[in-house]
Chain A
Amino acid sequence: MAPPAPFRERQELMDADRLSRTLSRMAHEILERHPDIRGTVLVGVRTRGVPLARRLAARMKEASGFEPPVGALDITLYRDDLTTVGPQPVLKGTDIPTSIDGRTVVLVDDVLFTGRTVRAALDELIDFGRPARIELAVLVDRGHRELPIHAVLLLERVAGPRPRTPARKRRRRR
C-alpha cells in the first residue's frame, strides 16, 4: 500500500524556453521599477539564487546597456537552526563586490517557502551597510510562510499542501 504523498507530484513548472522569457520579463520589471539602474545591486542567495542573479544581470544589460553588479550571499552563519541542523553545513562564502549603502538591493532566490532564508539574508545584508531599499525576486512561491515576508517580483505561485515533515527537517532543505 502506498503511503499518502506529502508533496505534490513532481511537475514541470517551466521549460528552458519559458524560463528564459520570464527572466527577461523580470529584468524589464526591475528596470521599470528602478530607472536609476546604476543604483541597483543584485544579490543571489547561495546556491541557486546566484546563477539566477547573473542571468538577470545579463538581461538587464541587454535592455539598458548597463550591467548591475552581482553579489552572492551565503546565509549559513545567520541561520536560526545552525546549532540544531545536524552536521555543520558546508560554507561557500559571501561575496558582496560593492558597497550597498544607499542602493537598491534586489535579493534573488529560486524558491520562496518558509521565509526563514530571507530573514537570514536580510540580517546578513544589513551587516554590509544600509541599503536604500531591499526587494525580493523569486521564481517560485511555494506558500506556507512562517514569517511575515513576501516577494515583490514573482514568477510563479505553487501552493501545494503543507508538507507533513517536522518543521526542523523541512528547514534543512534550504
Chain B
Amino acid sequence: MTAPAYPHRHLLGIEPLEASHIQAVLDTAEALREVLDRPIKKVPALRGKTVVNLFYEASTRTRASFEIAEKVLSADSLSIATSTSSVQKGETLLDTAKNLEAMNPDMIVLRHSASGAAHFLARHCRSAIVNAGDGAHEHPTQALLDALTLRQRKGRLEGLRVAIVGDVLHSRVARSNLWLLTKMGAKVTLCAPPTLMPPGIETLAPTTSRIEEAVEGADAIMMLRIQQERMTGGYFPTLREYHARFGLTEERVRLAKKDVLILHPGPMNRGVEIASEVADGPYSVILDQVTNGVAVRMAVLYLLLGGAEAA
C-alpha cells in the first residue's frame, strides 16, 4: 500500500511537517473547494464523526470556517467558547479536555493563549488535535490557507518573494507562514520595528526594520495585525507613528512587483498596519483568504478523520 499523503494524527504546527505533507493538504483543499460552489453544499464523507471546537480566545474567521467545514463534510460539531463555559469556574484546560473526551469526540480543535497548548493536549488525549492558534507559537491552518491563496494566484510557491510585515513578535501567523514558505522554497523577508522583532529569528530569515526594503520587488506582502491585547510594554510611541513608519500605504505597495498580492489574516486595524485603500484595493486577496480558509479546514478534517485509524 502506498504511504499516506498526510501521515500525522494531529495538526499541531507547520514546523514538524515535510513539504510533501503541506502539498497534500493544499492539493486536497483544491479538490474540495468545488464542494462549496455546489447547489447542495454537503458531502457525506465524515458522517458519524464528532468534532469539538474549543476556543479559549476570541475568533470570528477561524471558528466560523472550522464550523462550516465540519458541516459541509457532515461531521457533527459543537463549539465551546470559554466565556460561557465551566472554564469561568476555574476548570483547567486538561480537565475540560478530559471531560469532553469522555463524550467520545473524534477531534478537538483548540485555540488557546498559551504557546504549546495543542501539543499538551495531544500528549494527554486520544482525539486528533488541530491547533487553531496557540499563543505566539503557531497557527497552521492560517499559513496553509495563505499558501493556497498564493498558489492559486501565482501558480507556485517556489521562488516567490514574500514580505511578512508587522508585529512579528506576537504573531503565530508569522511563525507558521515562515516555516511553511521556507519549506516550500519561497524567499521570506521579515519586517518589524526592532522592539517587535523576536531575537534570534534572523537565523531563519533575513530581517529589516524598513518596510520599503522588505516590500521592494515582493510577489506578496503579508501584513500582520498589531496585537495590542498581547502587548505588555511600550513597543512603539503611538499607533499613528506606527502607521507612518510601518503601515502599508499605496505608495509603499508601488515598490513591490506590479502584480503583488496583499494578504492579511484579519482582523484588520485599518489605518494602523494597513491603509483602507490598500485593504480594499485591486491587489488585496484578503477575502479570497477567508474562502480558502474553509477549503483548507475541510482538507485538514478530511486528512485527519477520513480513512481508517492509522494502525
Chain A residues in the interface with B (C-beta under 8 A): 74, 76-78, 82-95, 123-124, 127-129
Known: A84-B308, A87-B4, A124-B43. 13 other contacts (CB 8 A): A83-B48, A83-B49, A86-B308, A87-B1, A87-B2, A88-B6, A88-B303, A88-B306, A91-B27, A91-B28, A127-B38, A128-B38, A128-B39
Interchain CB contact under 8 A, A92 and B38:
no
Q: Is B32 an interface residue (CB 8 A)?
A: yes
Q: Which residue of A lies closest to B32 (CB)?
A: A91
Interchain CB contact under 8 A, B45 and A85:
no
In the assembled complex, the CB of B39 is this many whole angstroms from the nearest CB of chain A, namely 6
Cα–Cα, bound, A50→B40 (Å): 23
Task: List residues of B (205-244) whose CB comes within 8 Å of A's CBs.
Answer: none
Q: Is B98 an interface residue (CB 8 A)?
A: no
Determine which of A78, A82, A95 lies in contact with B34 in the assembled complex, contact meaning CB atoms within 8 Å: A95
Interchain CB contact under 8 A, B5 and A88:
yes
Q: Which residues of the other chain, B, contact A92 by a CB distance below 8 angstroms? A: 31
Chosen A-B contacts, 23 in total, with CB atoms closer than 8 Å, are A77-B35, A77-B44, A78-B43, A78-B45, A82-B306, A82-B307, A83-B305, A83-B306, A85-B308, A86-B308, A87-B3, A87-B310, A88-B4, A90-B5, A93-B31, A93-B32, A94-B34, A124-B43, A127-B38, A127-B40, A128-B38, A128-B40, A129-B39
Q: Which residues of the other chain, B, contact A76 by a CB distance below 8 angstroms? A: 45
Q: Which residues of the other chain, A, contact B42 by a CB distance below 8 angstroms? A: 127
Determine which of A82, A94, A128 lies in contact with B45 in the assembled complex, contact meaning CB atoms within 8 Å: A82
Q: Is B288 an interface residue (CB 8 A)?
A: no
Cα–Cα, bound, A169→B6 (Å): 21
Interchain CB contact under 8 A, A127 and B6:
no
Encode contact with A along B1-42: 1 for CB under 8 Å, 0 otherwise: 111111100000000000000000001101110110011101
Q: Which residue of A lies closest to B30 (CB)?
A: A93
In the assembled complex, the CB of B175 is this many whole angstroms from the nearest CB of chain A, namely 27
Encode contact with A along B284-309: 1 for CB under 8 Å, 0 otherwise: 00000000000000000011011110
Q: Which residues of the other chain, B, contact A93 by a CB distance below 8 angstroms? A: 30-32, 34
Q: Which residues of the other chain, B, contact A123 by a CB distance below 8 angstroms? A: 44
In the assembled complex, the CB of A75 is this many whole angstroms from the nearest CB of chain B, namely 10
